[in-house]
Chains A and B, each alone.
Chain A
């Protein structure tokens, strides 16, 4: 059991980066499939919405039984927390593209994949980014909860060790680190992307 803060941060970051990226890829694929296949949209859509209301930590027992008590279980919980949010945002983002843009693009000779790449993706980007942000927040919570309950290293685990040792300074200092990390991602990454979009779209 390794308590050094730096190692803990790296361990946590590694898990969430992997889990989050996988969730984005799966979420994009699922979102697009749901959008394209109307049958799936009508049947899977509500199922996905329902699954999203299940707090991702509830998946931990399932993940541990499936993967055993290791990294994969936590990454699974992170991914499943975030995927649904992304998929729903992708589906609604594409649906809400102003049909006038598509009409205009068609009259300029674009079709099929060209319209998807040049119109639908950039037009749905604001919705997508808000879905990515929501997914990130679910992923982050799942990471912390997962680590607190079952990890062998990482920020959540250091938090629990602090409690076991009745060391409130350790507990509070880890909380501060968690807050700082969260703020860095929110401000530096999402904040920058959102500001960029807002500049272009003019307050959307």
Chain B
């Protein structure tokens, strides 16, 4: 499978203003890659994902999946949202089976497959629970199982762990790494968390904001399996973060005063104790 984002631009035009959310974005995703798109808030990364998912149309440019134009959503591009988007009137197992039910797959086979992926995310004991009985982390795991049952060409994840507490997030990151390794799925993962991106991705793509463009691509060549505590990872994170910092500052300046500065105005910077070389 191959995914090509070809010269995609997206403008949002409302009565009051015109936003140039994406400008000339080009991206090529190979089979089995894990791509992270990193960027400050408002840089259009979610918009880009929505366009690839088919939930939104481009203003210009196109998306080609296996050389075919994408115009609408479908199970060939499974999506995981930031809020699990599970259906509260269905049990966990029925939620996981939903995509297959729509596709007309027969009952016994659906059940088998749903249980297989549910056990991959370690939630077999909760198959008959309702969604409100699950914690945030558990819901995202169900959403992941559901996405996997679609056997999609590509899995799109829109900041799926952003709403979780950091311990759950950490566990899910490790689980996702393992599941990706086992299923060999192609994944596009949106996040604003640099450590998460560097830990999970083969390539990290940093985007600018206003307009959203690809700023720099980092090929992460650390050995797998990766852990957040490793020094190598921290080093790469620092590199990427430097690059990202400029963009974060730009966005913050637009929200705060134009003379706001990330280093000068953060509380921890105290000129009295700084003897010069960061001592």
Contact = CB atoms under 8 A, between A and B. Distances in A.
Contact of B102 (A110, A200, A203): A110
Interface string A172-204: 000000000000000000000000010111111
B79 interface: yes
> Chain B: interface residue count, which band?
20 to 34
B73 A101 contact: no
A202 B83 contact: no
A107 B87 contact: no
Interface string A56-92: 0000000000000000000000000000000000000
Contacts of A4: none
Interface in A94-126: 100-101, 103-110, 114, 118-119, 122-123, 125
A104 B150 contact: no
Interface in B61-96: 72-75, 77-79, 81, 83, 85, 87-90
B55 A109 contact: no
Contacts of A100: 81, 83, 85
A199 B102 contact: no
A108 B98 contact: yes
B268 interface: no
Of the listed residues A119, A122, A200, the one surrounded by the most CB atoms of chain B closer than 10 A to its CB is: A200
A68 B77 CA distance: 62
Nearest to B76: A109
Nearest to B74: A109
Contacts of A204: 88
B89 A125 contact: yes
Contact of B89 (A106, A108, A109, A200): A200
Interface residues of A, number: 23
Contacts of B73: 103, 106-107, 109
A56 to B, nearest CB: 32
Contact of A202 (B72, B99, B133): B133
Contact of B130 (A107, A123, A125, A199): A199
Interface string B120-143: 000000000011110000000000
Contacts of A122: 87, 89-90
Given A100-B85, A106-B55, A108-B78, 7 more contacts: A104-B85, A105-B102, A108-B150, A109-B102, A109-B103, A118-B98, A197-B89
21 contacts: A100-B81, A100-B83, A101-B85, A103-B79, A104-B79, A104-B85, A107-B74, A107-B77, A108-B102, A109-B74, A109-B99, A109-B150, A110-B102, A123-B89, A199-B130, A200-B89, A200-B130, A202-B88, A202-B131, A202-B132, A202-B133
Interface of B: 53-55, 72-75, 77-79, 81, 83, 85, 87-90, 98-99, 101-103, 130-133, 146, 150
10 closest A-B pairs by CB: A202-B132, A104-B85, A108-B99, A109-B75, A107-B79, A106-B73, A122-B89, A107-B73, A110-B102, A201-B88
